[in-house]
Homo-oligomer: A and B are copies of this chain.
Amino acid sequence: MMIRVMVVDDQALVRRGFSLVLDNEPDIEVVAEAGNGLEAIEAAREYQPDIILMDIRMPEMDGLEATARLLQEKRTEAGDTACRVIILTTFDPDEYVFRALQAGASGFVLKDIPPEALVEAVRTVADGGAMLSPGITQRLISQFAQKLGTGRNLAERLERLTTREREVLAAIADGKSNAEIAEALFIGPATVKTHVSSVLSKLGLRDRAQAVVFAYECGLATAGGRDVGF
């Protein structure tokens, strides 16, 4: 099964370089090239590559924007351009990584990686995996661990709460009013007030808004899962 690759970079020489390296592999076929984001989107429609190697800095439309559009199409139209994107760049500021992953990229590697590693990255991503430069993986892990780590100290405070109180706190962190909590937990509104009071007092908080903050900070509530369809 050939892996169909498209190379997107505004510098023709760079493009040819990558293409040659990849085309040299028996299981990889470079089916298209593009010089900017707009061309990339068109070419992707026409040639249906499996993998797109995308530069960031390009005229007309940069690689991040193009990636976002390509993968958004994929998500909405479903099955059209079911390709996966590897961002290939010389620079690695956090901001780019951030936006690249948000756009849906499956890889983020620096252009100075050895050719074999690039080939391996293409195979890995074609296989459903993801590949980041070691340093980037490192930072991603740090950020992740940080989010978990901070929860530690606060999670201890959480343990001073009874089961019911934690349930109430979770409901508060859901944006529910006391009446709604009562309904959700099948108890009276007065009881909810009691629980809310002990939650606030035990955690040293002043009002439910601070309780929501606390819930998010300690990991009881996490951004991303919720609908916010209040």
Contact = CB atoms under 8 A, between A and B. Distances in A.
Interface in A89-143: 98, 101-102, 104, 106, 124-125, 127-135, 137-138, 140-141, 143
Interface residues of A, number: 58
Given A102-B152, A129-B137, A130-B137, 11 more contacts: A128-B138, A131-B137, A144-B144, A150-B226, A175-B206, A175-B207, A177-B207, A209-B211, A213-B228, A216-B223, A217-B223
A206 B179 CA distance: 13
B135 A101 contact: no
Contacts of A129: 133-135, 137-138
A146 to B, nearest CB: 5
Given A129-B134, A145-B101, A208 B205 contact: no
A34 interface: no
Contacts of A148: 98, 101-102
Contacts of A106: 138, 141
Q: Which of A173, A175, A205 has most chain B Cβ within 10 Å?
A: A175
A219 interface: yes
A149 interface: yes
A224 interface: yes
A138 to B, nearest CB: 4
Contact of A230 (B104, B128, B205): B205
Contacts of A131: 134, 137
Helix, strand, loop or mixed for chain A's interface? helix
Most chain B CB inside 10 Å of its own CB: which residue of A124, A133, A224: A224
A29 interface: no
Contact of A223 (B101, B104, B150, B177): B150
Given A150-B224, A222-B223, A223-B222, A134 B138 contact: no
Contact of A214 (B134, B140, B228): B228
A204 interface: yes
